[in-house]
Amino acid sequence: MVRWVALVLIVLLIALQMKLWHGNGGVREVETLRAAVKKQGEDNDRLQQRNQALGADVDDLKHGEQAVEARARAELGLIKPGETFYQVVEKPGASQAPAPAASTGGR
């Protein structure tokens, strides 16, 4: 009788271990969920920083003329009245390297 109870308990222990390691809600699934939560937290931190930067841009655009002016100049190419706009167009195939400076000799 004691042997049967011990055998049943061993079989029950093996079944519980199998469920713990391989079943629904087992150790593997918990580790997978922990990794997903960690990745989502990192994504949230990155997006929070981006939102703060965008919020600062919005605040600058609402309250600062310099930010509006800088954005209009950079993105739209606008100039102020009385300013003269010069556009330098390089020839196709021209070297992008600057020309060497001329030596003035000793003074």
Q: Is 91 helix (H, G, I), strand (E, B) or coil?
A: coil
CB burial of 16-45 (b: ≥16 within 10 Å; e: otherwise) equals eeeeeeeeeeeeeeeeeeeeeeeeeeeeee
Q: For residue 82, give the amino acid letter.
A: G
Q: For residue 103, give the amino acid letter.
A: S
Q: Work out the pLDDT band at 86, boundaries 50, 70, 90.
A: confident
**Whole-angstrom distance, CA of residue 99 vs CA of residue 106:** 21
Most confident of 19-28, 29-38, 66-75, 98-107: 29-38
